[in-house]
Structure 1
Amino acid sequence: MNRIVLLFVSLMIVMATSSRADAEHHNIVLFLIDDLGWMDLGCQGSTYYKTPHIDELAAEGVRFTDAYAACAVCSPTRASILTGKYPARLLLTDWLPSGRWDPNARLIEGRKIRGLPVEEFTLAEALRDVGYQTIHIGKWHLGSEPFCLPEHHGFDINIAGNAHGAPGQYFFPYQGNWSIPTTPHRAKWNVLPDGQAGEYLTDRLTDEAVGLIEQSGEKPFFLYFPHYGVHSPLQAPEKLTKKYERVPKAKRQGKPVYAAMVESIDDSVGRVLNALRASGKDDNTVIIFTSDNGGFYKATSNAPLRANKGSYYEGGIRVPLIIKWPGVSHAGRVIHEAVISNDLYPTCLSAAGVELNPNQHMDGVNLKPLLSATEDLPRESLFWHFPHYNKHPSSHPSSVIRKGDWKLIESFDPATVELYNLGQDLGETTNLAQSEPARRNELLQELDAWRVAVGAERMKPNPDAASKDNREDTTAR
């Protein structure tokens, strides 16, 4: 009898453990919006952009006020999300393909790779290995053939993902025809091979996502949905654009066509949420919504944040982040802890009930404890490193550290140091580097130690530029 009782108890434990493991295998939907600014949502404070579905998601989930992209331009942030590593550690620190460095620049840019290495064990691979169907829909921008596309990095399905950072056209046939930087050549491509006349890319990609959710069955899925919107070219359905053109210019936050693109993204989020509800999967699906960098200066205003995409002031790197985790996140909670793109990898593993792999996602931390409690994360500082030039306003090659409310920017060209207290000066208007020398030196030392630890590429003096300067000085005399 005792053996029968013992067997029964053991069976019950196994069944309970199995049931709990199944319950922990949440579906995961990760929306990554391209160039969406921190202030471009109603739940973030915008009165111009209309985003009712995303606002609803924020009300049902947790909204982070101090979330950051790992880079001020797109490709490195995408690499960070899929690897859990800082771009500097990966040597993938600039958008692809950004071209050769300017031979007339004062500094030689740091080396960079031009595709996500196959050696990286991505988030998609980790989830596929435990039985997830892994789906990529939208912008990839992390390399090309022969081994750098989504299907080479753990995705079972790849729809519309290629080497390019934008569609060329948002309307069918979605043709791209761009000049390749620093070369006389052009790249030509189509984001999708088929479609209907007048079809809008954001809507079409959403059709694909909804269809796959409806067909997903019982197998858990990871839907990585990096929209091409709201990246340039700024194009949207005419009817939607006219809606925002009727708003007086004084009340606009950005261009009407951009506002229409934002609303189309919101519609997409709403349709995906409705598909999850209709299929009965919403109670077992973790939803993450974020952006890859700050808003583009020609499209939107990032005020009260300073600057824009491409810059390492807050307007270039602070982004929206919303997470809804049924049974874990407290509805409507707002979190002010500083978090970053690297954190999404371990957070998704936790949502899948998978053991964390800190040897891979070594620069990210699991955000689950923050969603239901007031626990602090086990780190004090966040870092950025951009040893490159770009043409975005307020951009310069630099490294950055944020520690608590303090943020230090070390610029390499021009060689300057800026220090801001974000708790008192969100707009970064008052440089405290001279009045707070102890704080400045402490942060500079920590920043330099981090660069050494991750093997960050350093910029070097450009001897050709120096020779040119000397020749010009001699001529002037």
Structure 2
Amino acid sequence: MKKLPLWVLIAALPISLLLSCTERSKETTSEPPNFVFILVDDLGWTDLSSFGSNFYETPNIDALAASGMKFTNAYAACPVCSPTRASIMTGKYPARMEATDWFGAPQPDNVDKHWTKDKPLLPAPYLEHMKPEEKTLAEAFKEAGYATFFAGKWHLGDEEKYYPEAQGFDVNIGGYHRGGPYTGNRYFSPYDNPKMTNGPEGEHLPDRLAAETASFIEQHKDSSFLAYLSFYSVHTPLMAREDLKAKYEAKRDSLGLQDKWGEEGDRKHRLVQSHAVYAGMVEAMDQAVGKVLAQLEQSGVAHNTVVIFMSDNGGLSTSEGHPTTNLPLRAGKGWLYEGGIREPMIVRWPSVTQEGSESQVPLTSTDFYPTMLEIAGIELQPDQHKDGKSFVSTLKGSTESVHDAIFWHYPHYGNQGGSPGSAMRKGDWKLIHWYEGNRYELYNLAKDIGEEHNLAEEHPDRLASMKDELHHWVEEVGGKIPQPNPNAAKAQL
């Protein structure tokens, strides 16, 4: 017999018994918690003031961090968007789902039309959608009686059967197959998004998505809800409100900031946060977060709402305008170095997480699914979220590791210059296996967060042990391996 959540059992009690409890305050009732999940696109590890930025201003998110728990070793399951988003929805590593690249990237049979056509390796094949048979996080909450809402970027399939409303969300505002706001006036109305009506001319997309989320919260304040706000921000195209652009141009000049560049592979790499347009995009996103947090207070549900904040991959530092830097982390979006996968993460669980606390426990995006179910008192589903680990104990203050190891598999050439590879973190140690040239890099992140010193030759025993574990994991999840590209040899002739 299926185990029912505690709150369902309580709801079934005789009305006379329930009425005897009306003198207790809302804060002490056992009503099911609400959830607001905020996912930002392409936000780097140091793109928030509370995570180290001295240029971008993010007072609302900083206040969220001050009222909850900040995680400094939180990871996306992939250095690009779609796979990470699927990992949150399913609790599985992208490699297990055969969904290892952003949906729309080249396949091995059409790479001849892509800039990587002469690279030494063909990209591994991948599914360009999240499988409909996956029981999503939203479906699990909907089954438990929650109202479910989605707003913003989806990018998990190019047909209606893959869209949010087919994957457990009662409401979908703006979520379809595109990975960015590329239609209409892009970040400003008219948007010409088939899943969202146009607003007044000039309306700003992050504010609109926040307003839709706030409206849903107010409408469902007397019931249990899951609101999933998935910003298109701060993904390209790089566009900011004129007032914020002017603000950061003036701030950049007053601080005497100048663009500085390094190199990562064959790409130039931004070394200073000084991009005024990007800074304006970050602040506008922060203002939108503030609108949602304010609505929780106004609707009287903040005390019983778990708020989660996360990014889907590292900040864009080596391509497409090079708008930010993730220093002291190496590289950024599209790379298996820390800059591509380590994310700013915050969780506020009222009366549980200690205000202003910080956790160094390594976690990854597969972990949200079982954690949220456990918080809500919904039965765990280990056959579904088989790669996720609940970190409820971490939220309660434990410093014990949740994972023995965390893994990545990205067998593709990234638009940002990254190469096909697999990686793992075990304790303070990180191993990267680059398939091109069959090379290995080993780093001690506790001593070398910037991954500057490859210790593979100095620690042969550790290297051998981690290699075996990584290879076993890739095989266990069915990871696809990139194959030699026959066109590469021809290109050298």
Q: TM-score, normalised by structure 1?
A: 0.89
Q: State how far apart, in whole Å, the 1-side matches of 2:314 and 2:203 are.
A: 28
For the 8 Å contact 1:365–1:377, the answer to whether it is kept is: no
For the 8 Å contact 2:27–2:304, the answer to whether it is kept is: no
Q: Which residue of 2 aligns with 1:435?
A: 458
Letter in 2 for 1:202: P
Question: Secondary structure of the equivalent of 1:38?
Answer: coil
Aligned length: 446
Q: State how far apart, in whole Å, the 1-side matches of 2:371 and 2:398 are.
A: 16
For the 8 Å contact 2:119–2:488, the answer to whether it is kept is: yes
Q: State how far apart, in whole Å, the 1-side matches of 2:71 and 2:293 are.
A: 20
Q: Which residue of 1 aligns with 2:150?
A: 136
1:148-177 Cα shifts (integer Å, max 9, x gaps):
0001100000000010000121011125xx
Q: State how far apart, in whole Å, the 2-side matches of 1:76 and 1:49 are.
A: 27
Q: Which residue of 2 aligns with 1:182?
A: none
State the 1:464 CA deviation. Answer: 4.2
State the 1:418 CA deviation. Answer: 0.5
Residues 1:37 and 2:44 aligned together: yes
State the 1:242 CA deviation. Answer: 0.5
Letter in 2 for 1:157: V
Q: Which residue of 1 aligns with 2:243?
A: 239
Q: How does 1:40-189 map to 2 (within 5 A)?
A: 40-101=47-108, 102-103=111-112, 104-168=118-182, 169-175=186-192
Q: Evaluate the alpha carbon distance shift between residue 258 and residue 61 of structure 1 in structure 2; reply closer, same or farther with a 3 A threshold.
A: same
Question: Secondary structure of the equivalent of 2:72?
Answer: strand
Q: Evaluate the alpha carbon distance shift between residue 464 and residue 367 of structure 1 in structure 2; reply closer, same or farther with a 3 A threshold.
A: same
* Aligned with 2:479 (options 438, 442, 456): 456
Q: Identity of counterpart residues, as a percentage? A: 46
State the 1:343 CA deviation. Answer: 0.5
Question: Secondary structure of the equivalent of 2:162?
Answer: coil
Q: Which residue of 2 aligns with 1:4?
A: none
Q: State how far apart, in whole Å, the 2-side matches of 1:232 and 1:170 are.
A: 10
Q: TM-score, normalised by structure 2?
A: 0.87
Q: Which residue of 2 aligns with 1:210?
A: 214
For the 8 Å contact 1:24–1:352, the answer to whether it is kept is: no
For the 8 Å contact 2:335–2:414, the answer to whether it is kept is: no
Q: Which residue of 1 aligns with 2:423?
A: 400
Residues 1:391 and 2:415 aligned together: yes
Q: How does 1:292-441 map to 2 (within 5 A)?
A: 292-297=312-317, 298-393=322-417, 395-441=418-464
State the 1:227 CA deviation. Answer: 0.3
Q: State how far apart, in whole Å, the 1-side matches of 2:240 and 2:487 are.
A: 45
Q: Which residue of 1 aligns with 2:278?
A: 258
Q: State how far apart, in whole Å, the 2-side matches of 1:22 and 1:119 are.
A: 36
Letter in 2 for 1:277: E
Q: State how far apart, in whole Å, the 1-side matches of 2:101 and 2:341 are.
A: 14
Q: State how far apart, in whole Å, the 1-side matches of 2:354 and 2:330 are.
A: 31
Question: Secondary structure of the equivalent of 1:222?
Answer: strand
Question: Secondary structure of the equivalent of 2:30?
Answer: helix
State the 1:454 CA deviation. Answer: 0.7
For the 8 Å contact 2:107–2:126, the answer to whether it is kept is: no
Q: State how far apart, in whole Å, the 1-side matches of 2:27 and 2:474 are.
A: 41
State the 1:20 CA deviation. Answer: 12
For the 8 Å contact 1:173–1:190, the answer to whether it is kept is: no
State the 1:414 CA deviation. Answer: 3.5
1:231-280 Cα shifts (integer Å, max 9, x gaps):
01011110111000002354461311111111111111111111000111
State the 1:214 CA deviation. Answer: 1.1
For the 8 Å contact 1:133–1:220, the answer to whether it is kept is: yes
Q: State how far apart, in whole Å, the 2-side matches of 1:193 and 1:277 are.
A: 27
Q: Evaluate the alpha carbon distance shift between residue 191 and residue 128 of structure 1 in structure 2; reply closer, same or farther with a 3 A threshold.
A: closer
Which of structure 1's runs of 4+ aligned residues deviate more than 4 A?
A: 10-17, 19-22
- CA-atom RMSD in angstroms: 2.2
1:36-76 Cα shifts (integer Å, max 9, x gaps):
00001111011111111111110110000000001000000
1:316-338 Cα shifts (integer Å, max 9, x gaps):
00000000001211111110011
Q: Evaluate the alpha carbon distance shift between residue 248 and residue 21 of structure 1 in structure 2; reply closer, same or farther with a 3 A threshold.
A: closer
For the 8 Å contact 1:24–1:351, the answer to whether it is kept is: no
Q: State how far apart, in whole Å, the 1-side matches of 2:281 and 2:195 are.
A: 18
Uncovered stretches (5+) of structure 1, i.e. residues with no partner: 1-9, 176-188, 473-477
1:378-422 Cα shifts (integer Å, max 9, x gaps):
4210000011112213x1000001000100100011431101000
Q: State how far apart, in whole Å, the 2-side matches of 1:98 and 1:13 are.
A: 60
For the 8 Å contact 1:167–1:190, the answer to whether it is kept is: no
Q: State how far apart, in whole Å, the 2-side matches of 1:125 and 1:46 are.
A: 37
Question: Secondary structure of the equivalent of 2:70?
Answer: strand
For the 8 Å contact 2:363–2:403, the answer to whether it is kept is: no
Q: State how far apart, in whole Å, the 1-side matches of 2:470 and 2:221 are.
A: 48
Question: Secondary structure of the equivalent of 1:344?
Answer: helix
Letter in 1 for 2:294: N
State the 1:348 CA deviation. Answer: 1.2
For the 8 Å contact 2:359–2:399, the answer to whether it is kept is: no
For the 8 Å contact 2:363–2:402, the answer to whether it is kept is: no
State the 1:14 CA deviation. Answer: 8.5
Q: State how far apart, in whole Å, the 1-side matches of 2:399 and 2:488 are.
A: 51
Q: State how far apart, in whole Å, the 1-side matches of 2:17 and 2:91 are.
A: 33
Q: Evaluate the alpha carbon distance shift between residue 305 and residue 431 of structure 1 in structure 2; reply closer, same or farther with a 3 A threshold.
A: same
Letter in 1 for 2:236: S
Q: State how far apart, in whole Å, the 1-side matches of 2:224 and 2:137 are.
A: 14
Q: Evaluate the alpha carbon distance shift between residue 463 and residue 57 of structure 1 in structure 2; reply closer, same or farther with a 3 A threshold.
A: same
Q: State how far apart, in whole Å, the 1-side matches of 2:427 and 2:397 are.
A: 19
Q: State how far apart, in whole Å, the 2-side matches of 1:24 and 1:71 are.
A: 35
Uncovered stretches (5+) of structure 2, i.e. residues with no partner: 1-12, 113-117, 258-271
Question: Secondary structure of the equivalent of 1:290?
Answer: strand
Q: Which residue of 2 aligns with 1:475?
A: none
Q: State how far apart, in whole Å, the 1-side matches of 2:59 and 2:177 are.
A: 32
Q: Evaluate the alpha carbon distance shift between residue 210 and residue 378 of structure 1 in structure 2; reply closer, same or farther with a 3 A threshold.
A: closer
Q: Evaluate the alpha carbon distance shift between residue 258 and residue 191 of structure 1 in structure 2; reply closer, same or farther with a 3 A threshold.
A: farther
